[in-house]
Amino acid sequence: MSTIQNANYGLDRIGGDGGQGIFEESSTPKHRLGEKLELSDGRVFRYASFAAATGAGLLVSQDISATAIVPTDGKLTAASAGATEVTYTDSGTVGSATLDQYAGGYLHIEDDAGKGFTYRIKSNTAASSNAITFTLYDGLQVAVTTATDVAVTGNPYSQVRAALGTADYIVAGVTPIAFTVNYYGWVQTRGVSTVLNVGGADIGEALMLGDATEGATEIFDDVAANMHPIVGFALYATTASGYGGVMLQLD
């Protein structure tokens, strides 16, 4: 992932004639997922793909059902140190996986041989006999065995949709425009933004992803059962149900 810096807030084409502006969507990718755009006023954006039609001014998160694998044991084929390919077999998890479904994500070695390392996934094969092979950007630093515990975290900017706190989503950004399903564009991660709010907020109050309405913020709740990570701070007092100014703190 690279960073683009640009001082022209209204530029239609970020990164030259082949690029894409912050108020545009595209049916084909014009940048790499996760690519970072920094504007001179402090706003930051990341390039994302969309798993569902999504309105403007909404918090979004990756669809973890399509991009992640929960911690599992005994699913890997043994691979030596230096190997850039590892095979994962599990009918219930990857039996219907598609080509490059996990590309851009991260393979976590959780326990047993090779534990403690993180590897970025360059690509994966489509499922065959309930198995897929991950190709890694970097070779294994320590050999893995059939007993190694692993998990996969998807690229946080891949296949995003409106987020909801009750689903334990990790927020990736805010939509500056409405997006079409399976299209690509920029989501804002830092700086002055406008975001849907539920319940209202006073100036300076900390805001978190809400539980009641997809894509909305609500006042930060320090009760453990209701608490989610802070996404930013209210720039002014907002009404109980509307869009408000937020100083985003996601990136």
If pLDDT is split at 50, 70 and 90, which confidence band does 1 have?
Answer: very low
Residues 96, 219, single domain; the answer is no
Letter for the amino acid at 169? Y
pLDDT of residue 38: 93
CATH assignment at residue 180: 2.40.300
If pLDDT is split at 50, 70 and 90, which confidence band does 222 have?
Answer: confident
CB of 113 within 8 A of CB of 142? yes
Residues 174, 57, single domain; the answer is yes
pLDDT of residue 10: 44
pLDDT of residue 4: 59
Residues 104, 120, single domain; the answer is yes
Q: Last residue of some domain: 99, 130, 153?
A: 153
Query: Of 10-14, 15-19, 144-148, 230-234, which gets the smallest average pLDDT?
Result: 10-14
CATH assignment at residue 85: 2.40.30
Residues 45, 169, single domain; the answer is yes
Residue 131 has pLDDT above 60, yes or no: yes
pLDDT of residue 17: 52
Residues 177, 223, single domain; the answer is yes
Residues 8, 85, single domain; the answer is no
Label residues 163-196 b or e (16+ Cβ within 10 Å = b): bbbeeebebbbbbbbebeeebbbbbbbbbebebb
> Secondary structure of the chain: what % helix, strand, coil (to 5)?
5, 40, 55
pLDDT of residue 225: 65
Q: Last residue of some domain: 104, 132, 153?
A: 153
pLDDT of residue 133: 98
CB of 186 within 8 A of CB of 251? no
Residues 115, 177, single domain; the answer is no
| Separation between Cα atoms, residue 89 and residue 86, nearest integer Å | 10
Residues 182, 141, single domain; the answer is no
Chain segment 50-103, per-residue pLDDT in tens: 999 999 999 999 988 888 999 999 999 999 999 999 999 998 899 999 999 999
Residues 30, 73, single domain; the answer is no
Residues 14, 137, single domain; the answer is no
If pLDDT is split at 50, 70 and 90, which confidence band does 18 have?
Answer: low
Residues 228-235, mean pLDDT to the nearest whole number = 93
Residue 8 has pLDDT above 50, yes or no: no
Could you give the number of structural domains in the chain? Answer: 2
| Per-position DSSP letters for 156-174, written without gaps between them | TTSSEEE--GGGTPPEEEE
How far CA 76 is from CA of 6, 32, 94, in Å, comes to 44, 29, 12
Q: C-alpha angle 169/61/229, rounded to 5°? A: 50
Q: Last residue of some domain: 124, 153, 182?
A: 153
| Separation between Cα atoms, residue 152 and residue 193, nearest integer Å | 31
pLDDT of residue 172: 96
Residues 130-158, mean pLDDT to the nearest whole number = 96
Domain that holds residue 220: 3-63+159-249
Residues 166, 240, single domain; the answer is yes
pLDDT of residue 160: 95
Residues 205-211, mean pLDDT to the nearest whole number = 93
15 or 44, greater pLDDT: 44
pLDDT of residue 13: 43
pLDDT of residue 14: 53
Mean pLDDT rounded to a whole number for the chain: 90
Residues 58, 168, single domain; the answer is yes
